[in-house]
Amino acid sequence: MTFSDISKKMIHFHFSKYKLFFLCNLFVTVLFFCYASIFTNHDFMDNYFVVDSMISSNIILPSILSALFLVLFLPFSYAVFLSARKREYGVLFCLGMRRKEAVRNLMLDGLIVSGFALIAALAIGTVLSALFYGFIRYGLGIEGLKWRFDIAPYQITVLLYGVTTLATILLQGTCMYFPQIAQLLKTPFQAEKKGKILCYLERVSAWFGKSKKIEFSFLVRHKRNWSIRYVMSIFMLTAVIVLVGLCAGINQSFYCDAERYAPYDVLYTDVFDVNYIKEQEVRELANSNHVKITEYSQLGFARDQTFNYFPVSLINEKFGCEYHVNQGQFLNLFPYDLLDGYSHDLTPVSHITLENDLELESIGSDIRILFNQNPTFADRYLILNDTDFKQLAKESTYWSGRIYLLQLDEWKKSADFLKDLQLRLQENNNVSEQDQQIYYAVSSKLEKFRKAHTSSRFLIFVMSYMIGLFCFTQWVLVHFGILAETDEIKRSIHSLRLLGVTRGEVFSYLRFKNKFRFLPQIAVSFLTAQILIWILLHKLYHLEILGCIAGAGVGAFIFCLTALSIKRYSQKEFDRIT
């Protein structure tokens, strides 16, 4: 018999610990990989036509969290893995094994298991992310987002995982070098002092008339490991609840934005008489599609590459504004709502020179949405004095056009009307459907709401995916923690049974212990998350109450679900132990 035979037997004996280590690594890595495959996908992150920038910017936070989680969790799972084997190596040291042999063995073990975990994680992650994109495409019907093989998420995952694992194994593997052998021999039996929190809890529970000395003795074990676990699980649950709150807020803001950015039910423009259609024709189209036009008006404008120009008197008259712009002056108008949650460039232009060498000075700026957005408009809006505007409109280098603003009796029923109108315009213009969409599309409230609806479904799916991953990981974290101490609990329970404790009592001890293992972090996260949601949503959208209610709902749901399943969970543990 050689030492390698012995090593094999030891690995066989500790297989469950290897499995635990493997699974822990697998989970955190899959979690991270899933995010990596989203945030490295340019279609997803930079394509504002398909994915609302609000959604892509909300991927960043959980991605960072999952990376942080990986970096924190790997050393932790390795430490648990090692601590299970310290006494064994202590004995081998007594019998004359050299420390460097032990360290080499342990590092090799760790590296091999970590390597397999990485390969498995990449495989599972690939499948999960393919499912993710598959669902977006076929479940939500959002075109333009495809899963395709991309090396970047693999590179990032391998890099982060590799660096963390190597650093962990190198640093912690040497933990066998330094402690006294006597210390290692005592490892599994070392008593830990109770922390302040536990003492306090004990006193509180004694105050309620029942002393729970034995129950608390189960909780004192591995205090350090558990406090790390608690912190991480609070971290994740808080992320979950905050995400739910944010999701609710953002979701609502999609609809609010649709309302704000579409003051008119229908808007289209003509430029140099292209895209022109007679009023009579529009009204007939409306009638034939069973909608009534309650308001029909138009507004002249001019534009060049960067600016839309509007005459001040028309704007004042039509939208009830009170702008005063003298000759030689202009006003910057930003057609945004600052509570929409997006960031906008609000730096005003101070000085422009028109084609006819007319110099204009800015008199300031205003932020206000007057009418819907449309592809015919340039990015910036300037309001000029009427005289200046007239002069400018005469210049052939500026495109002059008209905006048609329509209100309907029931915009929700305007789908057919809009389609017909679009089609008629396209026929008049004699362009392809694509060009019509790019240059002369009709803007409408209906379309805005439809887009909001798609974005909302998309957001809910993406967030649920992330929330699911986080919830699952935090459960795994606690569950594996409990599994890891099965042997010890078994011994204590056995001793207690010998002292005359009944099976029923043992079960109640386990239930009590599991309550403390699962529930406190949910309660803490619940409170922390409420504060975070309030701060984030208040700043971005003023939708904090909705967010808090949603967060509270989900927090309460997780709490109740966990509380209810503890009995079954404890029953399973009980069966495993006895």
* Minimum CB–partner distance for residue 183 and other proteins (Å): 8
Q: By C-beta, is 223 or 457 nearer to other proteins?
A: 223
Binding mask 157-176 for other proteins (x = CB under 8 A): --------------------
- Which of the residues 87 through 106 are near other proteins (CB under 8 A)? 87-88, 90-100
* Alpha-carbon Rg for the chain in angstroms: 33
Q: By C-beta, is 90 or 153 nearer to other proteins?
A: 90
Per residue in 92-110, is it b (16+ CB within 10 Å) or e — as a string? bbeeeeeeeebbebbbebb
From candidates 2, 305, 396, 397, binder to other proteins by CB under 8 A? 2
* Minimum CB–partner distance for residue 223 and other proteins (Å): 17
The structure tokens listed for 322 are 């009170």
Q: In three state form, how does the secondary structure of 311-378 look?
A: EHHHHHHHHCCCCCCCCCEEEEEECCCHHHCCCCCCCCCCEEECCCCCEEEEEEEEECCCCCCCCCCC
- Which of the residues 200 through 259 are near other proteins (CB under 8 A)? none
CA quadruple 20, 22, 23, 28: dihedral positive or negative?
Answer: positive
| Residue 577 found at the interface with other proteins (CB under 8 A) | no
| Residue 198 found at the interface with other proteins (CB under 8 A) | no
Half-sphere exposure of 165 (CA within 13 A, CB side): 25
Q: Residue 391 burial by CB count (10 A; 0-12/13-18/19+): exposed, middle or buried?
A: middle
Q: By C-beta, is 5 or 345 nearer to other proteins?
A: 5
| Residue 1 found at the interface with other proteins (CB under 8 A) | yes
The Cα–Cα gap between 313 and 499 comes to: 94
Q: By C-beta, is 96 or 504 nearer to other proteins?
A: 96
Q: Residue 278 burial by CB count (10 A; 0-12/13-18/19+): exposed, middle or buried?
A: exposed
Closest CA to 54 of 410, 433, 342: 342
Q: For other proteins, how many residues bind (rule: CB under 8 A)?
A: 29
Do the Cβ atoms of 286 and 417 come closer than 8 Å?
yes
Please, which residues have CB within 8 angstroms of residue 251's CB and are 6 or more apart in sequence?
Answer: 456, 459, 460
The Cα–Cα gap between 112 and 489 comes to: 30
- Which of the residues 13 through 72 are near other proteins (CB under 8 A)? 13-14
* Minimum CB–partner distance for residue 235 and other proteins (Å): 34
| Residue 6 found at the interface with other proteins (CB under 8 A) | yes
From candidates 180, 287, 294, 387, binder to other proteins by CB under 8 A? 180
For 400, list phi and psi in degrees, rounded to 5: -110, 145
Stretch in the footprint of other proteins (CB under 8 A) among 11-19, 375-383, 417-425, 426-434: 11-19
Q: By C-beta, is 94 or 127 nearer to other proteins?
A: 94
From candidates 107, 111, 128, 185, binder to other proteins by CB under 8 A? 185
* Minimum CB–partner distance for residue 490 and other proteins (Å): 12
Q: By C-beta, is 15 or 557 nearer to other proteins?
A: 15
| Residue 182 found at the interface with other proteins (CB under 8 A) | yes
For 369, list phi and psi in degrees, rounded to 5: -95, 120
Q: By C-beta, is 179 or 520 nearer to other proteins?
A: 179
Where do the DSSP E strands lie in 368-447? 380-384, 399-408, 443-444
| Residue 199 found at the interface with other proteins (CB under 8 A) | no
Stretch in the footprint of other proteins (CB under 8 A) among 3-11, 109-117, 235-243, 448-456: 3-11
| Residue 402 found at the interface with other proteins (CB under 8 A) | no
* Minimum CB–partner distance for residue 494 and other proteins (Å): 12
Please, which residues have CB within 8 angstroms of residue 60's CB and are 6 or more apart in sequence?
Answer: 39
Q: By C-beta, is 50 or 220 nearer to other proteins?
A: 220
Please, which residues have CB within 8 angstroms of residue 25's CB and are 6 or more apart in sequence?
Answer: 74, 77, 113, 114, 117, 118, 121, 165
From candidates 50, 107, 145, 181, binder to other proteins by CB under 8 A? 181
Do the Cβ atoms of 222 and 485 come closer than 8 Å?
yes
* Minimum CB–partner distance for residue 483 and other proteins (Å): 18
* Minimum CB–partner distance for residue 544 and other proteins (Å): 50
* Minimum CB–partner distance for residue 2 and other proteins (Å): 7
- Which of the residues 298 through 317 are near other proteins (CB under 8 A)? none
* Minimum CB–partner distance for residue 245 and other proteins (Å): 47
* Minimum CB–partner distance for residue 95 and other proteins (Å): 5
* Minimum CB–partner distance for residue 92 and other proteins (Å): 7
From candidates 3, 48, 200, 557, binder to other proteins by CB under 8 A? 3
* Minimum CB–partner distance for residue 189 and other proteins (Å): 9
Stretch in the footprint of other proteins (CB under 8 A) among 7-15, 46-54, 164-172, 494-502: 7-15
For 384, list phi and psi in degrees, rounded to 5: -110, 165
The structure tokens listed for 29 are 């890595």
* Minimum CB–partner distance for residue 190 and other proteins (Å): 13
Long-range contacts of 512-516 (CB under 8 A, 24+ apart): 512/212, 512/215, 512/218, 513/215, 513/218, 513/219, 514/482, 514/566, 514/569, 514/570, 514/573, 515/563, 515/566, 516/219
DSSP character for 96? T
* Minimum CB–partner distance for residue 493 and other proteins (Å): 16
Q: By C-beta, is 394 or 490 nearer to other proteins?
A: 490
CA angle 41–46–48, rounded 5-degree value: 125
Q: Residue 261: how many CB atoms within 10 A of its CB?
A: 19
The structure tokens listed for 115 are 């390597």
Q: Residue 201: how many CB atoms within 10 A of its CB?
A: 17
Question: Contact positions toward other proteins, by CB under 8 A?
Answer: 1-3, 5-6, 9-10, 12-14, 87-88, 90-100, 177, 180-183, 185
